[in-house]
Structure formats: C-alpha cells, structure tokens
A and B are shown apart, each in its own frame.
Chain A
Amino acid sequence: MAVLRVEHAKKAFGRTQALADASLELREGELLGLLGPNGAGKTTLVRALAGRLRLDGGALELFGRPLSPADRREGLGTVPQEIALYPLLTARENLEAFGSLNGLGGAGLRAKVAWALEWTGLTERSREPVRRFSGGMRRRLNIACGVLHDPRVILLDEPTVGVDPQSRERIYEMLGRLRAGGVSLLLTTHQLDEAEARCERVVIIDHGRVIAAGTVPELVGATVGAERAVTLRLDRPPAEAVAGLAPTDEARVFRGQVRDVDVDLPALLAGVAGAGCAVEDLEVRRPSLQSVFLHLTGRELRE
C-alpha cells in the first residue's frame, strides 16, 4: 500500500522546468531511493512533499489523502540536506527546540529527547554545543531532529553526505531501527552503491521526469541487461582480434561481456590463449546501479 504518492508533479522556476510530470509512490515500510543527477528535480520534489514549495501542477497524497501546500504534514518528517541545527545550542537543547516546534511537550518531549540521544549515540555529549560536534555527529542529530515527533513517513535529503564510513554505517543502523518500527523512508542520494545495498526500490529522476523505477535487478534487466562485464589486461596486444573482446583506450586492456560465468568465461580465456597472449589481470563485474544510472542519464556532466 502506498503511504505517499506523487502524480504528474510539475514545477518551473522561470524557464527551468524542475519537475515535468514526475510520478512515484512510497510503499508502507519500504526504503525508497530517489536518484538523479544534479539538478534533476530531487530536492524540488522533496520540498514539495514537505510543503515548502507549491507545485504548478499534479497531485500529492499522504496516507491516501490529498495534500495541498498549506496542509499540515501530520505524520511526515523531513530531514534536510543542510545541517539545520542551532550551533550554539547543545544537542539536547536542539532536540527540545525542534520537538517543541513539532508539538511535543512535557514528559512526552523529555522521553523522546532521551530516546533520540540514545538512538544517535549522543547521550554522553548531550550537553555540548553542536558547533563542537564532528560532521557525523551533526548529521545524526540533524536526522534525529526530523523524527522526534514519530512521523510514519520520513523524507531524507542526502542524509549521509560528507560523513565517514563509520558514521554512514551508524546512520543506516539508525534508519534500520526506524524501518523495523514500520516507518517508510524516501531517501535522496548520490551514493549509488549505498542505494543499491540499502534500498528496496529506487526511482531515477532526470530532467524533472521519473525515467525508471523498481528494484535494482529489475532496472538492470530493463536497461543494461544481466551480462557480467569482463575486463582483461594482457601481457601484450594480440596479433589478431579475439572473439568477444573489444579494445579500450589502453592497448593491452580489453573488455567483453559474459552471460554465464561458468560457461562463457573459460571460452573467452581460451580465445586469448589461442591468440598467444597471457592474462595478467582479470575482473568480472556484475551490472550495478551505477551502470544503470549512467546508461539512463548518460555520461555528460550536469552543471
């Protein structure tokens, strides 16, 4: 069941069409990755969902109810990409402030602040000003401030940008605990490996349109195909072309594709040996989300 739905969303800023008929849905309890090059329309979409931007056209739905820009987003939490905290306030004071602004108070607020501090691993540092925190600590607190009011749907705009692998792990651990409680998450990211590993489904948006949506295997199957990419470095360039291998910019490096590694790879290696060459290095890669992404959005830089 979809807890959040976007249908034919349109938004233009002057001549720039940020959203052009974008549609997607977030299902209950899932972690949905929203991917796209810079300027594709991800943040515009998130801001529209958060009620911070008025769409030119299209419709939004939350828990099956139409959502107008002015509607209060009950049950929706937003975690912005920026560290939207008060740097001179302590972690506890920030949590209390944002909890209070979201309608919490009294014992309920105190309990949620204690939970958030434990959840983020900041209990010991709760009385320190945020400006003294590391990037990872600030990120975790930034997320906590957006979920204090127990939203059932959370929008996370690049929640792991600029943090070390340890903090990233911790953040996904925190998100995992939320999901275990039945919370649905929509996450925008440029970390394709993360999206591939963590998200149940991904939506790829480009030029304001959703150009692909589904699980990673579904997207792979629908775009680049299931073949593994093979890269070979030979001791010398072969005198004649080897069947199934294509040259690259490097004279001794060749690429090919195999559908069945057990059957097709030995045949390829036999061809290389037949050409009188020896294999110095071999890499077999299954198609990744990165391949799908580049296939769909191209290699051209987006400025």
Chain B
Amino acid sequence: MIGTLLRIHWLNLSRDRAGQMLSFVVPVAFFTIFGLVFGSQNRGGTQRVHVAVVDESHTAVSDRLVKALQREKGLVVLTRARAAAGDTTRVPIDRRRAEELVRGGTVPVAIVLPAGIDTSLARSGPGGGGGPAIELLSDPSDPVAPQVVGGLLQKLVMTATPDLFMTRGLGQFERYTGPLTPRQRQGIDRWLPLLKARAERDTGAGTGTTSDNGSAGLSGIVQVEVKPVLGRKEDTSFISYYAAGIVVMFLLFTASAVAGTLLDEVDSGTLDRVLSSRVGMTGLLAGKWTYLTLLGVAQVVVMFVYAMLVFHLDLLHHLPGFAVMTILMAGTTSAFGLFLASLCRSRAQLGGVSLLLILAMSAVGGSMFPRFLMTPTMQKLGFLTFNGWALDGYIKVFWRNAPLPDLLPHVAVLLGFMIAFLALARLFARRWEQA
C-alpha cells in the first residue's frame, strides 16, 4: 500500500518540472544568493568605516589625533575634499563640508575635533570634565558606524595622548593624597616626555589596529557627542527604511500574483473572450498595468501611513519625494509582474520563478538587510535591481531630505526598467494573440 503511494508520488514528482525546481533547485539558488549577501559579511573582517575628519583645533594634540585616526586600520579617513561640486581643488574639510559629506551619504560619520580639545582631553576621565567634546556628525541611516567610531576614538585618544592622561591622573592623585615628593616629581618629569615620544612613535608607526582591544573598556573616558546631521531620531529613520524595504518586497509579490490572473484568464478562456471584444492585447496590458500600479500605490500609502501613525514616521514633510518614488516604484513593479506573467507558461511556473526572483532581488536590493552593511561588491550588485534603486530613492527622501532634482537618477533608471519590462511583456504576450 505504502509502496504504491510512494510510486505514485515519485512518478508525479519525476514529471513535474516546477515541483523539482521548487524542491531542489530553488533552495540551492537561495542558499547561494543569501550566502553571497550575508555570508561574506565576516570575510576579511569587519567593514572599514569611512570617516571625514575636521580639525578645528590645529594643535599638536589634535594633529596627533588626526594622524592616529589615519593610521587606524578600522577607518578610512578623509581629511580633504573638493571645496564644492565640480571644483577640482581639494581643501581641508571644515564642519560645513563634513555635514554635506554625511548628508550626501559619502561618509556615515564625520569626526570634529573642536578648538580646545587639548583642554578637554587633559580634563577628561573620572572626576574630570569640562571643555568641548569630540563631535561625531552621523548619518542616522547607519546607526552602527558612530558606535564603531566612538569606540575607536576612546582607544586612539588613550594610545595617542597617554602623557595628557598621565598628567591628569597625577593631578587627581595629588589633589586627594597630597603633593608628590621632589624625587617623584623628577621621575615623572623624565617619564612624561618618554611616554609622549613613545606614543608619537607608535602612532607614526601605525600600531593601531582594529584587533587592538580595550575600546570597550575605555568607553566614556573621552567625551564624545553624537550629532545626527539630519536632525531626526535614528529609530524613526530606520522605520522608514523598513517600511520601504518591506513594502517594496510585497509590492513585487502582489504584482506577480495579480499579473498571474493573465494566465488564469488564458486557462479559463476569458482572455480569448476579452480579445474577441473591442479590446486588443495592448489595451488589455495597459488596463492591467494601470490597475496594478494603482494597487501598488495604495499598498505603499497604507504602509507609510501606518508607519506614520504607529511609529511616528515623518511622512508629511517628505510628501513630494514620497509621491515620486511611490508612483515610479508601483509602475515599475507592475510592469515587472506583467513581464513575468507573460514569460511563464503556467501559474505554477510563475509561482516558482517569481518566488526565486523576488526573494533574490529583495535580498540583493536591500529589502531584507540594509545594503550599507553589505560588502562593496554586493552594494554595487544591488544597483542592478530596480527595487534596489527604489529603496535607495526612498532612503534619499526620508534620510537625506534630498530635494526632488536629486531623485533624477532614480527616476531615470526606474523609468528605463518600466519601459523595458512593458515592452518585453507586450512582446511575449504576442503568443496569446492570433496563433
């Protein structure tokens, strides 16, 4: 009995190509894609963080710190940049330019060493305080980078300016236990220059590495102030990221599912009947595309309004950019759905193909995992997917307050994808016209 049932199922599977694909090929394909997206995260260690450094202090101490930062292997440091777009001369980065670099997404963090940083460092530590803090101008879209840079700063300040900390420590010691003896003072005076020279030599030799530990233990010794340059709470920004990421992925699923009604209509004969009426194939596809686009827009609006009401997403201040990205995204997704449906021979085939493509595109495009945490190669690969461009556009709108002209590349790319998908859908749909 069981043998007969096994034989029936085996025969069914052996003749069902879609079933075989879903059982064996799709899982392997997914494993490959997700392995490439997520598995490469730890290959070669943690990603280096790009930072811009602004030295407003211009002292020997701040200079030592800048050099230490440049030698830090966990960081890629930018101290000079073009004065303005189109300008070829590179000038030292000031606070305004640093903010621009962060806002434009060139770097996730800018370190500002303010005037008076020497005093601050000399007073820092337990019982100390006062003086300006080191500022981290951060992009709230990347909450990890300021944490990493903050930790590294704690370490670098300690390793680059140990003499200052020693002086401060001895001051505290004398304050509570009485002055040092002349002999002790002589010894200290001989030791401090050596400490400073050694620190300078070490900094110059580039001994600082991300593998050096101690950052976590030193956390809080140096005053570091994180300032989101976009003036928004990080959690709110991340809500917009995930609202966009999730809705873009589900838009793809909805579009392919609804476009699949085309295949149902072929099976039921409804398509034949519709095409026998006054509606041609172009009109039919245009009607379906319009409906799908409106449905997509409604889906995105529902998601973002919900995010606004429940998670306090600042939707109302980004309406123009949101409208542009939403309409384009919905239109492109709809065209993609129609393309897939016209490409496939059956609902089962469409189900398998769309599942594989959409999940892969969502992974690479950034719907499942922020692209800025991926390897540079995977980040570039994301731009081959139209949903990656859409997500990037939403990020520009919500995180960077990008004005509409800044969305032009995204508009152009999405329009290109849309037209290409519609043209392909029309081409493949010819088989349903006259045999």
Contact = CB atoms under 8 A, between A and B. Distances in A.
Contacts of B434: 51-54, 69
A145 B435 contact: no
A255 B277 CA distance: 53
A82 interface: yes
Which residue among A51, A52, A73 has the maximum number of chain B CB atoms within 10 Å of its CB? A52
B272 A84 contact: yes
A72 interface: yes
**Which label, helix, strand, loop or mixed, suits the secondary structure of the A interface?**
loop
Interface residues of A, number: 24
A71 to B, nearest CB: 12
B270 interface: yes
A86 B269 CA distance: 10
Contacts of A156: none
Nearest to A70: B434
B295 interface: no
Interface string A217-232: 0000000000000000
B273 A98 contact: yes
Nearest to B284: A101
A52 B432 CA distance: 9
A82 B268 contact: yes
B269 A73 contact: no
B422 to A, nearest CB: 21
A103 B277 CA distance: 8
A86 B434 CA distance: 22
Given A54-B434, A54-B435, A69-B434, A78 B276 contact: yes
Interface in B268-282: 268-270, 272-279
B269 A82 contact: yes
B272 A103 contact: no
Interface string B421-435: 000000000000011
Contact of B276 (A13, A52, A85): A52
A53 B272 contact: no
B273 A80 contact: yes
Contacts of A69: 434
Nearest to B261: A86
Interface in B304-350: none
B274 to A, nearest CB: 6
Given A53-B435, A54-B435, A69-B434, A84 B277 contact: no
A72 B273 CA distance: 13
Among B275, B277, B278, max chain A CB count under 10 A is at: B277
A159 interface: no
Contacts of B269: 80-84
A41 interface: no
Nearest to A103: B278
A126 interface: no
A86 to B, nearest CB: 7
Contacts of A80: 269, 272-273
Contacts of B277: 98, 101-103
Nearest to B278: A103
Nearest to A55: B434
B276 A73 contact: yes
A36 interface: no
Contacts of A47: 272, 435
A103 B276 CA distance: 12
B270 A85 contact: yes
Given A82-B268, A84-B268, A86-B270, A51 B276 contact: yes
A147 interface: no
Contacts of B275: 52
A84 B278 contact: no
Contact of B273 (A54, A73, A84): A84
A146 interface: yes
A145 B278 CA distance: 14
A102 B278 contact: yes
B270 A78 contact: no
A102 B272 CA distance: 13
Max chain B CB contacts within 10 Å: which of A84, A102, A145? A84
Contacts of B272: 47, 50, 52, 80, 82, 84
Interface in A118-153: 145-146
A123 to B, nearest CB: 23
B28 to A, nearest CB: 35
Most buried by A among B275, B276, B278: B276
B14 to A, nearest CB: 24
Given A50-B272, A98-B277, 18 more contacts: A13-B435, A47-B272, A47-B435, A52-B272, A52-B276, A52-B434, A54-B434, A69-B434, A82-B268, A83-B269, A84-B273, A85-B268, A85-B270, A101-B274, A102-B277, A103-B278, A145-B273, A146-B273
11 contacts: A47-B272, A50-B272, A52-B434, A53-B434, A53-B435, A54-B435, A80-B272, A82-B269, A84-B270, A98-B277, A101-B277
Shortest 5 CB-CB contacts between residues of A and residues of B: A82-B269, A84-B269, A101-B277, A84-B273, A84-B270
